Amino acid sequence: MRLDGFVAKATGLTRSQARKAIKSGDICLDGVVTKKAAISVADNQQVTLDGRSLSLPEFQYLMLHKPKGTVCATEDAEHPTVIDLLPDEVLANPKGELHPAGRLDRDTTGLVLISDNGHWTHNVTSPRKKCRKRYRVTLAEAVSDDAVEDLCRRFQQGVMLKGEDRPTLPAVLRIETPNQATVEISEGRYHQVKRMFAAVGNHVEELHRERIGLITLDKTLEPGEYRELTPEEIEAFC
């Protein structure tokens, strides 16, 4: 990487500000002042600004408790995005572009994973990885005791969604109370959970994601709050 690019990424300065700092003799490469903005910086070299060692930012990995009314996007003209909920210190100077791994509907709450490492988020969302996601569902129509077994079997066998030509992959449905269920799916089709319940004559009133793969939404996070992932949670999608 060029020295001006390195300084800009490490400090959050613009490229032209970084060049100015280099020209002014504020930057040392391996202890020697260098005024060449285009010089290449190798991995093992040390860059200092006014004697302070500079390093490139690390990737960030976060979980967020998505509140209702926000959209899973990096920008939106009409609604706040999940990225808008993050504080300036997280948004400042990322290594890549922070983005949510996959989408929840605007009225869906719960676990969203966010990172600036596109390779990592691809591992979360790639259909080929068949990552399991668990949702808590509030249903409009009560499921009677007699109907539970048949409904669970239909989800297990796969449900044909309106307008599609192949059934959903096997899903695990648990009816917790007549109007509350959990469902685990390993695909991410458009409005999938709502459409699966619509296909069996019910309607989803509330939808909340509890888990993605091995990562469970931290119960201490209120809607709108986030925390960094632990090394084990990051490793789950490496």
Active-site residue, selected from the candidate residues 105, 116, 146, 165:
105
User: In angstroms, what is the minimal distance from the CB of 111 to ligand URA?
Assistant: 11
For the beta carbon of residue 175, count every other beta carbon within 10 angstroms: 21
Pairing outcome for strands 133-139 and 172-177: unpaired
**Range list of β-strands (E), 25-171:** 27-29, 32-33, 47-49, 52-54, 61-66, 99-100, 109-115, 133-139
Q: In 3-state terms, what secondary structure has residue 165?
A: coil
Q: Which is nearer to ligand URA, 176 or 235 (CB)?
A: 176
Q: Which is nearer to ligand URA, 64 or 207 (CB)?
A: 207
Tell me if residue 105 is catalytic. yes
Q: In 3-state terms, what secondary structure has residue 99?
A: strand
Q: Which is nearer to ligand URA, 60 or 108 (CB)?
A: 108
User: In angstroms, what is the minimal distance from the CB of 200 to ligand URA?
Assistant: 14
**Contacts with ligand URA, residue ranges (CB under 6 A):** 104-105, 108, 191-194, 207
Q: Are 62 and 49 in contact (CB under 8 A)?
A: no
User: In angstroms, what is the minimal distance from the CB of 85 to ligand URA?
Assistant: 17
Q: Residues with catalytic annotation? A: 105
